Amino acid sequence: MTKLLPYSIFISTFYYLLSATSILAHGGEVPEETEAVAMTTLEDSIRSTSIKVVIIASIIILAFIVLTVLLKHFGEGLKKFLFAGVVIPTIAATLYMVGSTLYLNFTSSSGGPVHWHADLEIWDCGNKLDFVDPQGISNKVGTSTFHEHNDGRIHIEGVVKEKDEASLGKFFKFVGGSLSTDGFEVPTNNGQITRHNNDTCQNGDMGTLQVFVYQTRNDVFNQQKLNDPASYVLTPEGNVPPGDCIIVEFGKEREKTDKLCNFYKLKVKTGEIKPASEFEQPTDLNLNESGTQEEDLNHGN
């Protein structure tokens, strides 16, 4: 029996290390509550279940290790039983985590974990809105895969199971809001801000929900107005630009917006990108007050 003890400890240690690796493969962190989550993804569910499996298996393994020490003078048959009590939960939990990771990677539209970004600005009758401040260690609003850090940036970090999970409408749901052709709901520090088409702005203008997206190809960007903003799928890019700049604007209806995300402004100033036409040349290249240092975003989260 005492000869089995080192093997039991080795197996349990190996199992803990493998568990940590598998959890990282599911997104890099233990799930925790994030602010304003209205819906979750399959990856979040599997990650949460994996943690429960690890905890249950760990309790069983530790219990059998304790029994191995306490019952070390018993016969060979009991030794085999106790050893199996360590090995079986280790194998079962490992198979679940490895299998679920492989399933997600092979069946996902993204083909595995991704790290995409898009910049987002929301304007309500000329006033810029910010999502509710994130709380806790996670420092995020949304899910582990789809979230924002109150930095004006959409973060997609993990496995995208279905393509439409990366849509603008789904992102608003992930952070506890909503977006449609009729209006939006935005969770802020001042509560939920809701606007519908034909609501009146403070200046008397009849408001309309409009969404504009800037896309960059070969260092040239253009602007388009979205007919169905909720179904728009973000461009799969890690940096912005070439990742999207999305302007959600409630106000007087127009064909083009004069708003532009900070990182697009920076790249225009440095000459790294240019508009497709003079008509799309931004007139205001001053950074918004909520702008963040470029290195923090494009080389950080």
Q: Could you say which of 85, 107, 129 is where a domain stops?
A: 107
What is the structure's pLDDT at 114? 86
Reported confidence tier of residue 285, pLDDT bands at 50, 70, 90: low
Same domain for 123 and 88: no
Q: How many domains does the chain have?
A: 2
Q: How many percent of the chain have pLDDT more than 70?
A: 75
Structure pTM? 0.71
What is the structure's pLDDT at 254? 92
Reported confidence tier of residue 299, pLDDT bands at 50, 70, 90: very low
Give the mean pLDDT of 16-36: 45
- Phi, psi angles (nearest 5°) of residue 76: -65, -35
Query: What b/e sequence results for 156-190 when a residue is b if at least 16 CB atoms lie within 10 Å of its CB, and e otherwise?
Result: bbbbbbeeebbbbbbbbbbbbbbbeeebbbbbbee
Query: Which range is least confidently modeled, 15-29, 167-181, 199-213?
Result: 15-29
Q: Where are the alpha helices (DSSP H) in the chain?
A: 4-25, 42-70, 76-107, 168-174, 262-269, 294-298
What is the structure's pLDDT at 45? 67
**C-alpha to C-alpha distance for 31 and 154, rounded to whole angstroms:** 19
What is the structure's pLDDT at 289? 56
Same domain for 210 and 174: yes
Helix 42-70, helix 76-107: angle, nearest 10: 170
Closest of 281, 269, 294, 154 to residue 221, by C-alpha: 281
The listed range with the strongest mean pLDDT (14-28, 34-48, 169-183) is 169-183
The 10s digit of each residue's pLDDT in 258-280 is 999 999 999 999 999 988 876 56
Same domain for 169 and 277: yes
Same domain for 129 and 253: yes
Q: Could you say which of 91, 107, 123 is where a domain stops?
A: 107
Task: Specify the residue for token string 């949304």.
Answer: 142
Reported confidence tier of residue 169, pLDDT bands at 50, 70, 90: very high
Same domain for 160 and 120: yes
Reported confidence tier of residue 89, pLDDT bands at 50, 70, 90: confident
Task: Specify the residue for token string 């309500």.
Answer: 124
Count CA within 13 A, CB hemisphere, residue 240: 31
Kindly state the tokens that stand for 102.
């492989």
Same domain for 213 and 284: yes
Tally of helices (H runs) and strands (E runs) in the chain: 6, 12
- Phi, psi angles (nearest 5°) of residue 14: -60, -40
- Inform me whether the pLDDT recorded for 145 exceeds 90: no
Count CA within 13 A, CB hemisphere, residue 292: 14
Same domain for 143 and 62: no
Domain that holds residue 231: 113-298
> Which residues touch 20 (CB under 8 Å, ≥6 apart)?
none
Secondary structure class of 125 (helix, strand, coil) = coil
